[in-house]
Structure 1
Amino acid sequence: MTRLRRRLPVRLRQNGKLLAACAAFLGVCWGVFGSGTVRPYAVSAPDTTAGAVTQDITGTKDLFDTSVAHQITLTFRDESYQDMLTAYVKDGEKEYVEADLTVDGTTIPSVGIRLKGNSTLAGLTWKGESAGRRPAGRPGGERPEGFRPPEGFQPPDGFQPPDGNQPPREGRPPAEGDEQTGDRGRRRGGMGGFGAALKAEEPETLPWLISFDEFVEGRRYQGHSQVAVRPVTGRAPTMLNEALAISTVGAAGEPTQSFAYSAFTVNGRSSAPRLVVEYLDEGYAENLGDGVLYKSLATGSFTYKGEDQTRYASDFKQVNKVGGTDLQPVINLIRWVDEASDEEFAAGLPARLEVESFARYVALQELMLNFDDMSGPGRNYYLWYDLGTRRFRVVTWDLNFAYSGDAFGGGRTGSHKLKERFLATPAFKKLYEEQYAALHRKLMAGGILSGLLDDIVRGYKLNAGAGAVDADAETLRALLRERAEATSAG
């Protein structure tokens, strides 16, 4: 019985009595009202137990101190890992495996680990067979459950899948000495590629989400309930592009994530240093202030579906204050964006959204060539709702496709109604252009990005298992130079 209980998510276990009471109440309703329609809403009294911290492990080093070496070791039962892979291949479910974790000499028993990512896992194989669940339209793959690429989505010019088989852009023949692509910018593409070639037999290379409280309620590590471990891909195992993109967002003054490189071992198998990234969990939300953090899901859309909150379960996930607040602020925003006239949108958006911050967000994605932003296939963003100002802020997340593609092109993406209407409104388009020019002067032309990259490379080299990184760094520096040239008129 204990083992069965531990298979249940912590949040479900924490609210077992409440759920039982709700089930009993619905049973009474059924008896009284018969087969009449009952519309469920995700509204409840504040839950003072959910998210309560009972243990915060200090460790020996700051996990995200990039000036020191780090070591992360995972150990788990192979049978549990096989069960996890079976569930993922069969149903696309990313189940947690119980593991023992050692971080910089501090052992933490019974953490939860699961596969992390969507498009990143599209190239996963197991026993020589495809195990990934590819986005629709990708060669030889299937769509993940509920996945719908944004309308009109196309990868940007120069984007290269890991196998290098993307043809050059139509009408531009390959340049001399350039076998895979047709222009100088496209030679730089492909870091952190779509559907990276990953093998389940090599768990030390896979993308992982580590949860400190999945099997031990209320436990955190240095304030974090979860951290993400980015994959080792064949094309760019260092993931310098993502580390630089995270640093770029922070240098622009927008909310970003902490990161560091670490030596990484799984069941005795070691890999090159892994990029470990702060996850946007309850602790992250607490540091943002008094508000609610909502994660956009890859299966979702920004579409008004009525007031029934259960209809948005595949669109957004609430991160913090669960039980005390709900999805209603997000639904209100979606409905207003959908229904407001152009005049109402221009006049009313600043009361609902931090428009200057959003202009920076959109400008940053373009400068960094990140096609997988809020309007990309992964719908990678969070919404932060400040309970004091009653305004939203868009928070950047998952930048493994940034700084990839044609430096002289742009980040072609799909659709997102908020972003589209924002750029179609003259006053907001001007604000975007001002932010774009300011960011270019500060980051691109000012040399800040080059300095950030130098720091990242130094941090990578500190760790055991660090291989050749200078070639990747030079590739990225060349892209930065070309991107600065391409955007100089912006």
Structure 2
Amino acid sequence: MFVAFVTTVGTVFGSARIRPYITGDAAIIASEITDNISGTVDLFDSSVQHDVSLEISDAEYEDMITSFQKTDEKKWILADLTIDGTFVNDVSVRLKGNSTLMGVRGDDAVPGGSGFQPPEGLEPPEGSELPEDFVPGHMGGMMSSASEDDPTSLPLLISFDENSSGRAYQGMTELSVRPGTPVLNEAMALSLTAETGQPTQRYAYTVYSINGSATTTRLLLEHPDDGYANSLFDGDGYLYKADASSRFEYVDDDQSSYADQFKQINAVGTGNLQPIVSFLKWLDTASSEEFDAHLGDWVDVESFARYVATQNLLVNGDDMAGPGQNYYLWFDLDTKKITVVSWDLNLAMQGDTSAGPHDSVGMMGRGGDGPGAGMPPPEVPTPPQDGGLPGMTMGNPLKTRFLDSDAFTAVYESAYWDLFEQMYGSGRAGELLDEIAATVPVSDGLTRETLQASVDSMRTWIDQRTDALVALRDQ
């Protein structure tokens, strides 16, 4: 059972999640934290304003940008961090993301640049139109406002232990600085996922600056480490992250063949990729009849139904089947079953509000007829690695086969409408919006007027989504 350590927007930070798990002959132990910086206030206490600033030397910053542009390497650099008044020297910082970094890659990689060619399968079909509310870099992720000229615009990963083994901040070894402001859609999606009892990540709004720059408002998100992994569920298990360039398909029996596709987060010394390899091998060879009869032997079907339903309800076109391959896999050592954990919800709650439970939601809208139609169906071929969106893959056979199977329609639809009522039908989404908006700090880069406009836009989206689904439900 999931331990819902993320509650509502008023999350209270808990104790450091570091504890051993004993499973048979093996002990799953989180990396030892020997220097746990307590800070002045709980980072995820939304009742207080949070402030984060970074100091990065010109040489280090140039090294990070140049390495990325020349080799696509997201190189760690050194920086000093002040978080809620607590100074932490020599933290490690690197770029984070894929499509969100498009504006940093250089002219040839930027849509509209002289050398840009959209990867095959990701361009809109001829004659199709983008949704009316499309904002480059905000909805489709095909462009990004991140720029090397504005360090505060960059999505970053901050590590406390990369340069100082055993160091953590309030039990966390890494934090993610999300791009954009005020990104109410991402905060809403995280909170709604948590409120429905599903694993997600904690977040905090912060006033943010780099090298004494004008301030902006940024979302700070906990980044899954082994302490996070070992707190997700009551039982023992392994947590794996899918790489953006991964393919959810069987290659061979050699675990090393998947090393660049799946990263094990916890118990790195005692675990392995065998659970993933074994499942992919079964999925690759299972007939439709075997899939229907035995998927439950490999996957927590009810949990998966809720995951898939949630992504549709949130209109997230960049989930486990999206171009970013944004998901984690949890393998439970007791049940021997896999659970999908959501990750990276920055494109949720801003697409086509009319998408129904059996419409395929994409980054440019939904599949089928109606507004937003035109996104390629699942199983689009992998874009070329040297093309405009490197490493991105569309589709996921597990999700596709699950939704196509009549054997799982009832469990999926039951989960869907139950979650709809919890999120939208009950009015909870609107209430959460008010609660979240009250915690967002204004800054030089976010005025009260701009924040209110974003709140109004988000409320309109919620109302339209609710009305559309009520109409579908009552047909």
Interval of TM-score (by shorter of Structure 1 and Structure 2):
0.7 to 0.9
Could you say which residue in structure 2 is the equivalent of 1:312? 258
Tell whether the 8 Å contact from 1:191 to 1:241 is kept in structure 2 after alignment.
Answer: no
2:311 paired with 1:365: yes
Following TM superposition, by how much is the alpha carbon of 1:281 offset from its aligned partner in structure 2, in angstroms?
Answer: 1.2
Residues 203/142 of structure 1: CA separation in 2 closer, same or farther (3 Å cut): farther
Aligned length: 409
2:222 paired with 1:278: yes
Could you say which residue in structure 1 is the equivalent of 2:468? 486
Following TM superposition, by how much is the alpha carbon of 1:331 offset from its aligned partner in structure 2, in angstroms?
Answer: 0.5
The residue identity in structure 2 corresponding to 1:354 is: D
Greater CA drift, 192-201 or 430-439 = 192-201
Could you say which residue in structure 2 is the equivalent of 1:246? 190
Residues 316/473 of structure 1: CA separation in 2 closer, same or farther (3 Å cut): same
Tell whether the 8 Å contact from 2:53 to 2:83 is kept in structure 1 after alignment.
Answer: yes
Measure the CA separation in 2 of the matches of 1:469 and 1:131.
34
Tell whether the 8 Å contact from 2:309 to 2:415 is kept in structure 1 after alignment.
Answer: yes
Q: 1:270 is paired with a residue of what secondary structure?
A: coil
Q: 2:204 is paired with a residue of what secondary structure?
A: strand
Q: Which has the larger radius of gyration?
A: 1
Q: Deviations over 1:207-260 (max 9, x none)?
A: 11001101000111111111110012xxxx211111111111112211011011
Q: 2:438 is paired with a residue of what secondary structure?
A: helix
Could you say which residue in structure 2 is the equivalent of 1:68? 48
Q: 1:461 is paired with a residue of what secondary structure?
A: coil
Measure the CA separation in 2 of the matches of 1:398 and 1:408.
22
TM-score by length of 1: 0.78
Q: 2:214 is paired with a residue of what secondary structure?
A: strand
Greater CA drift, 368-377 or 346-355 = 346-355
Residues 109/190 of structure 1: CA separation in 2 closer, same or farther (3 Å cut): closer
Following TM superposition, by how much is the alpha carbon of 1:169 offset from its aligned partner in structure 2, in angstroms?
Answer: 4.0
Could you say which residue in structure 2 is the equivalent of 1:30? none
Measure the CA separation in 2 of the matches of 1:138 and 1:309.
40
Tell whether the 8 Å contact from 1:115 to 1:207 is kept in structure 2 after alignment.
Answer: yes
Q: 2:219 is paired with a residue of what secondary structure?
A: strand
Tell whether the 8 Å contact from 2:241 to 2:265 is kept in structure 1 after alignment.
Answer: yes
Residues 47/439 of structure 1: CA separation in 2 closer, same or farther (3 Å cut): closer
Following TM superposition, by how much is the alpha carbon of 1:466 offset from its aligned partner in structure 2, in angstroms?
Answer: 4.3
Greater fraction helix: 1
Following TM superposition, by how much is the alpha carbon of 1:313 offset from its aligned partner in structure 2, in angstroms?
Answer: 2.1
2:444 paired with 1:472: no
Match of 1:200 among 135, 140, 148: 148
Pairwise mapping of residues 431-450 of structure 1 onto structure 2 (< 5 A)? 431-450=411-430
Structure 1 vs Structure 2: percent identity of aligned residues?
Answer: 42
Greater CA drift, 298-307 or 456-465 = 456-465
Following TM superposition, by how much is the alpha carbon of 1:461 offset from its aligned partner in structure 2, in angstroms?
Answer: 3.1
Match of 1:209 among 157, 174, 184: 157
2:353 paired with 1:407: yes
Tell whether the 8 Å contact from 2:64 to 2:77 is kept in structure 1 after alignment.
Answer: yes
Residues 400/154 of structure 1: CA separation in 2 closer, same or farther (3 Å cut): farther
The residue identity in structure 1 corresponding to 2:213 is: R
2:302 paired with 1:356: yes
Could you say which residue in structure 2 is the equivalent of 1:230? 178
TM-score by length of 2: 0.80
Could you say which residue in structure 2 is the equivalent of 1:81? 61
Q: Unaligned 5+ residue runs, structure 1?
A: 1-44, 158-166, 171-179
Following TM superposition, by how much is the alpha carbon of 1:427 offset from its aligned partner in structure 2, in angstroms?
Answer: 2.4
Q: Deviations over 1:55-92 (max 9, x none)?
A: 11111111111221001111121101111111100010
Measure the CA separation in 1 of the matches of 2:268 and 2:295.
26
Q: 2:54 is paired with a residue of what secondary structure?
A: strand
Residues 437/294 of structure 1: CA separation in 2 closer, same or farther (3 Å cut): same
Measure the CA separation in 2 of the matches of 1:440 and 1:241.
17
Q: Unaligned 5+ residue runs, structure 2?
A: 1-24, 363-376, 379-394
Could you say which residue in structure 2 is the equivalent of 1:395? 341
2:312 paired with 1:337: no
Could you say which residue in structure 2 is the equivalent of 1:9? none
Q: Deviations over 1:327-380 (max 9, x none)?
A: 000111111111112222222221211111110111111111110010000000
